[in-house]
Each structure stands twice: as C-alpha cells, then as structure tokens.
Chains A and B, each alone.
Chain A
Amino acid sequence: MTLARASGVILAKELRTEFRSRELLGTTVVFVLIVIVLFSFTFNPTSSESRRFGPGLLWLAFLFAGSLMLQSSFLREQTNDTLAALRLAPIDPFSILAGKMAANFLFLLLVEVILLPVFAVLYNVAILPVLGQLLLVLALGTIGLAATGTVFSAVAAQARLRELLLPLLLLPVLAPVLIASTEATIGVLRDPPELSMVWLTFLACFDVVFLTAAWMVGEYLLEE
C-alpha cells in the first residue's frame, strides 16, 4: 500500500472520528475566541493599533490553541492501544504521522477560518479585500504548526507531564513561524496591502525543512 493511500485512509478516519463528536473543534474555537477577546482588553483597538498588534495576537492565539489541540492526536490512539493496531498494518509507519499531520492541518485551518471574521469585527480590520492573500499566509503558517505539532505530540506522548510538555517543546521551535506569519499578516493588512515574498518564502522553507525532518526521523517515535 503506498504511503499516500495509507495516509489518505488514516486521514479519512481522523476526520470521521472528529466530525462525529466535534468536541475538539468546538472547544478549540471557543478557546481561541476567549484569547482574542482577552487580548483586546490589553490595548485600545483603534484601527492603526489593531493593525500593528492584532496579527501578532491572533497568531499567538492560534499557536496556543494549536499546542493544546494537538495533544489529542496521539492521546486518542492510546485508548485501546489503537496505535498498536496501526503499527500492525503493512503500511509505512510514516503514513500514520502523515495522515495525522494532514488531519491536524485541516482542523487548525478550519478553526482559523472560523475565527478570522470574528477577529475582523472585534479589531476593526478589513479582511475581505485581502482574503486570498490572508488565506495563503494562514495556510503556510499552519502547515508548519501542524507538522511540527504532530511530531512533538508523538514525543510528548512518551513522557510525563505531557499537557505541559507539548507547549514547552512546540512554542520555542515555532518562534520563527510566529515572526514570519505575523509580519506577513501585518503586511497584507497594510494600506495598500503588500505580500512579503521574503516571509512567505521563509514560511515555505520552514515547512519543507520540518516536513522532511519528520519524514526522516518521525517514524522512530512510534517504535516500542
């Protein structure tokens, strides 16, 4: 069975499981909402200030939410030891990671897209004219978040204090993504909007480097 097909089967399973209960998605959306609202209390959201601080706070909210949400990726496989069931199957072990990365990417992107209009309203930022560019930045940043986060959730699953450990491991490593995504978003929201090729290329590089690293060493994390 090829890597792509096996990952696809696992992705479908993840999506089906999540959309049946929708509890993870719902909880994450509410959490990001709370963070966005709380952040808005820390400064006066006039238009120019929002455009300066808003994107950074938005991405911080996404990172925090991501590092909490990504926990469940491998914790779920510990119920009934279904991870062993996956490892018994004649598939490339990386396809387990790949399927989960894809699922996490889609979940996170969905959360972000749901909250984008909320952010626009609360912070008085016009997003419709630049929606396409904004989505591009979101996608590139979220790939990095999902890829790295999935691998680290497999790391944390083997340690104690995993709820605290995942953010501890993930947030420092994702600092470049935070910088790049925030700067790119600020650029897009500027008047006139500018799409920074440097930051976008950087995000793409980050994604490629970490996806490759995950491909090369990720499967060792699934060993017993």
Chain B
Amino acid sequence: MRWSGVAQNNCYAIWSRAEPSRVSTPLASSPKGGPGGGLQIQFSEVEKRYGMRLALRGVSLAIAAGECVALVGHNGSGKTTLLKIAAQLTRPSRGRIAFDLGENPISLEEVKSRVGMVGHHTLLYEELTAEENLIFFAKLFGLENPAEKARQALQPVGLAGRATDLVRTFSRGMRQRLSIARALLASPGLLLLDEAGTGLDPEGQHWLGATIQRLRDSGCTILMSTHGRNETQGAVTRAIRLAGGKITHDSGATGNPREILVMAAVRESGEEGAS
C-alpha cells in the first residue's frame, strides 16, 4: 500500500480553505469617490463551493461607489451566491472580498452596519407586528430612536396603517414591501437586492424603481439581481451577466448596460415561449 503524497497534496490544495476573506488595500485601477458614502466592493478570484457544487468560479469584479449594477442570469448561475458573499452571509471558499468607503479601506465588521439586503426570503418574524420587526432590527443596527425610525420607515412603503398588525396577516406584496423597508432602515451605503420586485404589484414595482433611482442619486451603491425587464431597471448603470458561476458579459463601469439587459430579457421570454 502506498501513501499517495500527490493525491494528499491535491486534496489539501483543493479542499483546504485557501485564504479567509479579509480587508485588502484597494487596487490602483479601481475608480474611487462618489457622494453620500456609497461603498466600493472588490471581489478577487472569488470561488464558492457547496459540497460538490461550484456556485462561483474565479469571479473577479470591482464595483465603484454609486454604481447601480444589475446581475442577470438564470437560476443557479451564481447571482444569489455573489450577493450573499457581498452581504457577508457566507465566506468565499477561495479568494477574497474587500470594501472601501471613499479613500479608505473599511473593516468587514463596520461594513455590516452599512449594508441593507432584500433576499429570497422575507427575513421577517411572523409573530411580531410590522412595527416590532422594524424596531427590533433598528436596535440591532444600533440606530438612535428605533421606534421613531421604524415609524418613518413604514410611511414610504404604505404600511403605516398596518404598523400594529402581525406580519402573519400580511399579503405577499405587503411582506415584500416591509422587507424592503427593513433593508433601508439604516440608510445603507450598499444595497443588495435579490429579485426584490417579486411579489410586488405594478404600483409597488414603480415605487421600488423610484426608490432605487433616489438611492442611486444619493450615492448608494446598488447591486441587484434581476430576471427580466421590469420597472426597476431604469436606474441601472451597469449590467453583468453570470452563467455557470462565471461572468460572461460585463458592460463595465462606463459602458451601456442596455444590450445585456435586453439580451437577458429576450432569453427569458424566449425560454418561456419555448417551454
């Protein structure tokens, strides 16, 4: 019986976590600036493995402050995984992610207080009221006057009248709106949206599009995954297409995202027609 040193080293190389994600100094080429405290993100050779499945393969990406990036691609292309890594919900199996605020790098802990996320699930407690949910999260984010902030957050989403009702009684659209309000509570410098438009009626979609526009204008960096054409794409400044965990198209920081968005929409409707 021979002990296979080659295989063992292969194992270690492939299986061992290569580097934990940590703060890095920004690369020279990345554009800086942007008003209002939007965050910059840098993905360097990010890979994410779930057991045998590779969700992301060697993704390198630099997103400047204030950009509004649309991620397009099929289900399973890695969009949600990329967003989760940006939210620090999961650590990359390899590679790193780094954030900057203005000229300076910013620690991963500090980043958390400036990130708002709307995920696949609503991230809300069914047994608490809308107000209680928001107050709870406001407290966890260390906000002053959590009760006041919660009340203010309910106004724009049209839920001020339902503040004292249990989330359990809400419709799908109302939950989605509350979920978005939750993400916006702490005035984030980075907003991550994972198909935030689902469940919203046309009026809600319109409102979401306007909100995204407003946030972009105030300098917030926005990273959103989107399926096909919808109201929320008006503010997009950059489009990136993912397939099989890799970036296949990137309109770039200064390019025109329309082509990629149109291509994605056509593909979506084409598949829907064919199936």
Binding site for B on A (CB under 8 A): 1, 6, 9-10, 13, 16-17, 20-21, 79-82, 84-91, 223-224
Contacts and interface: CB of A to CB of B under 8 A. Distances in A.
Nearest to A21: B127
A17 B125 contact: yes
Contacts of B142: 1, 90
A89 B127 contact: no
Contacts of A224: 84, 89-90
A90 B117 CA distance: 13
A17 B128 contact: yes
The 3 closest A-B pairs by CB, nearest first: A81-B121, A85-B123, A89-B140
Given A84-B119, A85-B124, 13 more contacts: A9-B136, A9-B140, A13-B128, A13-B136, A20-B128, A79-B126, A80-B123, A82-B124, A87-B89, A89-B137, A90-B141, A90-B142, A223-B91
Given A89-B137, A90-B109, A223 B90 contact: yes
Given A9-B136, A224-B89, A88 B125 contact: no
B112 interface: yes
B202 to A, nearest CB: 25
B112 A88 contact: yes
Interface of chain B, main secondary structure = loop
Would you call the interface of chain A mostly helix, strand, loop, or mixed? Answer: helix
Contacts, number: 66
11 contacts: A1-B142, A6-B140, A9-B140, A13-B125, A20-B128, A80-B125, A80-B126, A81-B123, A86-B140, A88-B117, A89-B141
Nearest to B117: A88
Contact of B89 (A10, A88, A91): A88
Contacts of B213: none
A91 B109 CA distance: 8
A81 B115 CA distance: 17
A9 B125 CA distance: 14
Contacts of B47: none
B113 interface: yes
A82 B125 contact: yes
B168 to A, nearest CB: 10
A100 B84 CA distance: 24
Interface in B76-129: 84, 87-91, 109-110, 112-113, 115, 117, 119-128
A86 B142 CA distance: 13
B140 A84 contact: no
Nearest to B124: A80
A86 B136 CA distance: 10
B139 A9 contact: yes
Given A80-B121, A84-B119, A90-B112, A20 B140 contact: no
B131 interface: no
